Amino acid sequence: MTNKYNAEQNKITKESILGALMSLMEKKDFKNISITEVSQKAGVSRMAFYRNYSIMEDILIDHLDDMFREYSTLLNHKEISNYEMTRLFFYYFRQHQKFIENLLRSKLTHLILERSIEFLDIYSKTITCTMDCSPEFEKYNIGFIAGGFFNVLMIWCKSGMTESDEKMAEIVHDRLSNHIAGITLTDF
């Protein structure tokens, strides 16, 4: 019971810290936001901050990891087409537009790219390639795909995400189809 309670309290603390940071990032440059400021706005102690994070960027990385875990649950079908995987990508990231805009303003979008590469590296075992995916080439395929998705996501976000998820999937699908035949996901 105590562990469940502690886990729930920890989750609430992390959500409060993230919410406080997002609010502050809408008004201030990330580099000018202090841990004390985030803690005060979140209504938690600095000690609570340091129980969960070492540095401010850890808040963003932790949230990105959660985002990619949630995105992977959308892909929980045994087989999913490239188009649907891509549509779900844009659908999911549209839900996090403010977060992405905050990273853009703060010049921290490299964190999205880094986490994208990490995500694809983990899930690359479930991807069916139409070309040689030997271990020596896998890192290049992952870099290519992550970089493409990342850059398209950044352009889309900078333009206000005006195109529909379906239109974005259509744009990317044609290019992606030349590199991946589809994915078959194992249980996460």
In this prediction, residue 51 carries a pLDDT of: 95
**Residue 188: which pLDDT band, with cuts at 50, 70 and 90?**
very low
Chain segment 35-56, per-residue pLDDT in tens:
999 999 999 999 999 999 999 9
What's the whole-number mean pLDDT along residues 174-181? 63
Give pLDDT, residue 16: 98
- Give pLDDT, residue 129: 57
What is the residue-averaged pLDDT of the chain? 88
Question: For the chain, which residues make up each domain, given as ranges?
Answer: 2-54, 57-184
CATH architecture observed for domain 2-54: Orthogonal Bundle (1.10)
Predicted pLDDT at 17 = 98
Which residue has tokens 């995987």?
85
* Position 144 pLDDT exceeds 90: no
- What digits encode the pLDDT tens for the residues 76-90? 766 778 888 899 999
- How large is the angle between the packed helices 97-105 and 135-158, nearest 10 degrees? 90
Question: Is 149 in contact with 116 (CB distance < 8 Å)?
Answer: yes
Q: How many angstroms separate the Cα of 12 from the Cα of each of 56, 77, 124, 144?
A: 17, 30, 32, 37
Express as a percent the part of the chain with pLDDT over 70. Answer: 87
Q: Please state, in angstroms and rounded to a whole number, the distance separating the CA atoms of residues 79 and 88.
A: 14
- pTM, two decimal places: 0.84
**What is the predicted pLDDT for the residue at 38?**
98
pLDDT of 131 higher than 80? no
DSSP per-residue letters across the chain: -HHHHHHHHHHHHHHHHHHHHHHHHTTS-GGG--HHHHHHHHT--HHHHHHH-SSHHHHHHHHHHHHHHHHHHHT-SSEE-HHHHHHHHHHHHHTTHHHHHHHHHTT-THHHHHHHHHHHHHHGGGEEESS---HHHHHHHHHHHHHHHHHHHHHHHHTTS-S-HHHHHHHHHHHHTTTEEEEEPPP-
Task: Give the gyration radius of the chain's Cα atoms.
Answer: 18
Closest C-alpha to 105, from 29, 48, 178: 29
